[in-house]
Amino acid sequence: MALKKTIRTACLSLGVLGAAMMSGCILSNEDEAGTVKDHAGPNTPITVENAQTVFNMVFGTIKGAMEEPLSKPSAVASETRTINGSASGKIVVKTTPTANGYTEELEITDFSNDGELFIGGKLTNDMTTTEHGETGNITGDIAVAGFFKGKVGVDVMMDNFGDYFMVQGMVTIGGEEVSVFFHPTYTKVAR
């Protein structure tokens, strides 16, 4: 009887572990690259209704972090740089030149500048450089914890023409696509 109970418990534990591993969950308590830990805070679930607010907070945080210490990517050499969060984590940016611009691969690990919103995930930013500025496509997956909690699939276009910067496109939350728009002057949100 005890052996049956032990085997049943072991099988149940393996089933739960296997389901968690197969889910591809990006939320983690580890310091693995591209993840976010669980953090104290409201942890308000990301929904279709608050997707625009979450998108503004995430992209405002990433854009602000990447502007401070960085210069333009080199046109001839690949480079990797790390941006440390003021409160937690880091963003590792690998930039590779392409024929018409560059590709940035962002690996975001438990990144936070404010200690309230923590971000993890991986994004790819394929940029084309023109005489007027840059335009490109940003794709990948982001997870957040702390102020909000959840996962978001990202597929947006970005325009950066000097004084003009805008990101717009779609995010996916729980299988539902939501249209989003980011412009630096519209990023102030009430917390």
How far is Cα 173 from Cα 53, in angstroms, rounded to an integer? 13
Quick one: pLDDT at residue 171? 95
Q: What is the pLDDT at residue 160?
A: 84
Report the distance separating Cα 93 and Cα 91, nearest Å: 6
Residue 23 pLDDT? 33
The segments of the chain whose pLDDT lies below 50 read 1-30, 69-71, 186-191
Residue whose C-alpha is closest to residue 150's, from 11, 55, 17, 10: 55
Separation CA 130–CA 139 (nearest Å): 21
Residue-wise pLDDT tens digits, 118-169? 999 999 999 999 888 899 999 999 999 999 999 999 999 998 887 778 899 9
Which of 126, 174, 169 lies closest to 152, judged by CA? 174
Cβ–Cβ < 8 Å for 167, 156: yes
